[in-house]
């Protein structure tokens, strides 16, 4: 058994790192240690969070952080990038092999960066390149200022079709608070009012009428499968490029839980993802594409990105290598099994779920049946040590801030080793808290959408039960900070 006096390699590495940090700014070392403690003690049900392995975490803390490496493999704008080329090539190789993609670009710093690279790659291929070809046909080496002005207007006047926010879409899919909504004229497709499921016939009709340049598939809060074969058929019918943002479910694609029509890579011209979430890597982004867009995608820097983060690319390579191991496929399947167990456990206790269940890693719980808003439910659960996030539901009467739902995800607890029986117990804890929480009132006596009250002793009892459950599934058991 490992003891503080005889640390294993992981413990020694993290202890030493914290000692070095403490020598410069002890408050940062304290915050790092406190974060590990907090994560160990809480039931993490944030669908977009996970726990990276010690190898992935350690790969980010090294001398690659000191390197500038604008450009691509073998074509850098800085000298001395031989080792960065090795790291980026390995990460891209693992990504291609893992997902069966023709091309992989691993430089994006985040999901939104990956999406921006994808948007501008499509614009460059579909709008800018034809303009340059027309100029070449006129035997003009480059566009004159009038041509460029016309091109800028054309680039800024393209259309995008994406899933609506209340149906489970994402801000980066063309919504005005995000830069994508300022780049594109966006229209949304939604879900059936009765079932909550994607309505492909309605989507097809909207695409025919709207004629977008890009159709985006993918979600952050839709608990069902998407048929990407049908999505590609719709895109081809209207001359659109099909882009899929699989940030949330990339791990389920990597683990071969989503195959055939439900695997986006064979169907979409371009696919974006984060490398954390269900993929269980470092925080970052990635773009996969077919040959038609590879040249444009590789120009992500300087088109959209600044210098890549070589230390994070190193961690991506490690995480992708981990995901190619047979154990990852088992992990991915357990994510879905656990999500179904959580959904069934909530439903048995009378909870209402959007779409009536789940096929993936997340569950969307309508908390209006408890008389609460999402904000109240989120806060009450946090008091009991259960970390979730409020989320809008289709046609949400409380809007995107207060919401009527909470989103629950199973990747993190699955990493900790919980099984379906454990997720059923989690469902019991959630229902206990929410059924014992009541909404507060404003100063004027009106019902409040924010304040709440949990019955005396409930939060403490649930937190103790959660701690007992987690004690059998320690987080980072190989890391002992002493």
Active site members: 68, 70, 245, 274, 277, 283
Please state, in angstroms and rounded to a whole number, the distance separating the CA atoms of residues 169 and 399: 14
Q: How far apart are the first and last CA of the chain?
A: 14
Contact indicator for 223, 364 with CB cutoff of 8 Å: yes
Nearest Cα to 47, choosing from 396, 390, 395, 426?
390
Please state, in angstroms and rounded to a whole number, the distance separating the CA atoms of residues 208 and 193: 21
Q: Structure tokens of 122? A: 């499509």
Contact indicator for 437, 390 with CB cutoff of 8 Å: no
Please state, in angstroms and rounded to a whole number, the distance separating the CA atoms of residues 98 and 106: 13
Please state, in angstroms and rounded to a whole number, the distance separating the CA atoms of residues 133 and 427: 59
Give strand ranges (E) for 255-337.
270-274, 285-289
Per DSSP, what are the bridge partners of residue 352? 366
Q: Structure tokens of 2? A: 């490992």
Task: Give alpha helix (H) positions in 184-289.
Answer: 200-210, 228-238, 250-254
Please state, in angstroms and rounded to a whole number, the distance separating the CA atoms of residues 274 and 288: 11
Q: Phi and psi for 217 in degrees, rounded to 5? A: -110, 155
Q: How far is CA 399 from the centre of its chain?
A: 22
Peptide bond into 413 cis (omega under 30): no
Q: Phi and psi for 265 in degrees, rounded to 5? A: -60, -45
Torsion sign (Cα): 247, 251, 257, 261 = positive
Name residues whose C-beta falls within 8 Å of residue 168's C-beta, 6 or more positions apart in sequence. 191, 219, 220, 221, 222, 223, 364
DSSP output for 102-133: SEEE---SSHHHHHHHHHHHHHIIIIIHHHHH
- In the numeric block, the tokens 């959007």 are attached to 354
Q: How far is CA 73 from the centre of its chain?
A: 26
CA distances to 12, 14, 79 from 1, in Å: 15, 18, 47
Nearest Cα to 422, choosing from 466, 372, 357?
466
Per DSSP, what are the bridge partners of residue 439? 452
């Amino acid at each position: 058994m490992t003891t503080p006096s005889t640390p294993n390699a992981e413990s020694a590495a993290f202890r030493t790192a914290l000692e070095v940090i403490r020598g410069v700014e002890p408050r940062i070392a304290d915050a790092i240690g406190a974060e590990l403690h907090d994560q160990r003690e809480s039931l993490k049900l944030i669908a977009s969070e996970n726990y990276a392995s010690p190898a992935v975490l350690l790969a980010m803390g090294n001398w690659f952080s000191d390197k500038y490496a604008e450009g691509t493999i073998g074509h850098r704008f800085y000298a001395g990038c031989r080792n960065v080329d090795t790291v980026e090539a390995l990460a891209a190789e693992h990504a291609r092999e893992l997902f069966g993609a023709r091309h992989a670009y691993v430089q994006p710093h985040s999901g939104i960066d990956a999406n921006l690279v994808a948007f501008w790659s499509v614009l460059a291929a579909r709008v800018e390149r034809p303009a340059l070809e027309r100029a070449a046909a006129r035997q003009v080496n480059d566009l004159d200022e009038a041509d460029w002005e016309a091109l800028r207007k054309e680039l800024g006047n393209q259309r995008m079709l994406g899933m609506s926010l209340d149906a489970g879409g994402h801000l980066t899919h063309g919504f005005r608070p995000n830069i994508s909504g300022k780049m594109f004229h966006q229209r949304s497709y939604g879900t059936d009012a009765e079932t909550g499921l994607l309505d492909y016939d309605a989507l097809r009709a909207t695409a025919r009428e709207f004629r977008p340049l890009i159709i985006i598939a993918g979600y952050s809060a839709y608990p069902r499968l998407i048929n990407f074969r049908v999505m590609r058929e719709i895109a081809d019918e209207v001359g659109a490029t099909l882009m899929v943002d699989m940030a949330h479910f990339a791990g389920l694609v990597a683990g071969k839980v989503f195959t055939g029509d439900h695997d986006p890579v064979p169907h979409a011209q371009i696919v974006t993802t984060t490398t954390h979430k269900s993929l269980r890597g470092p925080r970052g982004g990635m773009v996969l594409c077919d040959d038609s867009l590879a040249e444009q995608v590789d120009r992500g820097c300087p088109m959209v990105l600044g210098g890549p983060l070589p230390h994070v690319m190193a961690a991506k390579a490690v995480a992708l290598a981990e995901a190619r191991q047979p154990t990852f496929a088992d992990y991915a399947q357990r994510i879905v099994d656990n999500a179904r167990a959580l959904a069934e456990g909530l439903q048995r206790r009378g909870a209402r779920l959007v779409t009536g269940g789940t096929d993936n890693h997340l569950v969307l719980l309508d908390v209006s049946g408890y008389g609460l808003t999402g904000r109240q439910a989120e806060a009450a659960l946090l008091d009991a040590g259960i970390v979730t996030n409020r989320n809008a539901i289709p046609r949400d009467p409380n809007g995107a801030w207060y919401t009527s739902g909470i989103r629950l995800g199973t990747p993190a607890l699955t990493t900790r080793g919980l099984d379906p029986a454990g997720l059923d117990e989690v469902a019991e804890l959630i229902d206990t808290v929410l059924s014992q929480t009541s909404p507060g009132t404003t100063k004027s006596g009106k019902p409040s959408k924010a304040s709440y009250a949990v019955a005396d002793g409930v939060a403490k009892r649930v937190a103790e039960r959660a701690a007992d459950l987690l004690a059998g599934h320690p987080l980072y058991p190989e890391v002992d900070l002493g």
